[in-house]
Structure 1
Amino acid sequence: MTETYTGPTNVEDIEDDADSAVATLDRQAEEILAEDRSFGVRPLRQAIREDALHARDWGRTRTGRLRHAVEENPVRASLYALGIGVVIGLLAAR
């Protein structure tokens, strides 16, 4: 139970095993998509990386807004957190 996950921490660090069937299918799919560029189809990995970057930026923006709101009204934020905790506690007790 003391083991920690030491896998890739960055999207670019993820690599495929070149000998696996998944990697072969992935290469074939990328070749098919590369042939049909007239529709503006992006390669799957590029689309996933762009979506991951967009999600990270969205999360950072929301975190900054939340931090600012809590700093401006700490009492209100604490009361909201307390109320949400009570509601979750009541729902969990059912």
Structure 2
Amino acid sequence: MTETYTGPTSPEDIEDEVELESARLEREADAILAEGEARAFGPRPIHEAVREDALAAREWSRARAERLRRAVEDEPIKATLYALGLGVVIGMLIAR
């Protein structure tokens, strides 16, 4: 029952520990932001930018296709009914 607290003895000690960690995190965040800005706004050839955007679009579409494929495999009846309903709606719009 007579334990003594042996932590920091003054408020300055506590602030220094927190300040060091926050300063490190702030430096890391600044480095990440600077790298992102350099990639986004830095001078680079247009064909390189288009190629990177095409790769990003391709990866996005592959992920979406895989997600759709899993959804159809998990619930084929539900997917069939959605497709049928969408076909009916499109058919009604085209018939107008």
Of Structure 1 and Structure 2, which has the larger fraction of its residues in helix? 2
- 1:55 counterpart = 2:57: yes
Identity over aligned pairs, percent? 63
Deviating above 4 A after TM superposition, structure 1's stretches of 4 or more consecutive aligned residues are none
TM-score by length of 1: 0.58
Partner of 1:74: 76
TM-score (norm 2): 0.57
* Among 42, 45, 50, the residue aligned to 1:43: 45
Question: Structure 2 regions of 5+ residues with no counterpart?
Answer: 1-37
RMSD: 1.5
Q: How does 1:1-94 map to 2 (within 5 A)?
A: 40-94=42-96
Task: Work out the CA distance in 2 between the residues paired with 1:84 and 1:42.
Answer: 43
**Structure whose alpha-carbon radius of gyration is higher:** 2
The structure with higher relative contact order (CA 8 Å, sep 6+) is 1
Give the unaligned 5+ runs of structure 1: 1-36
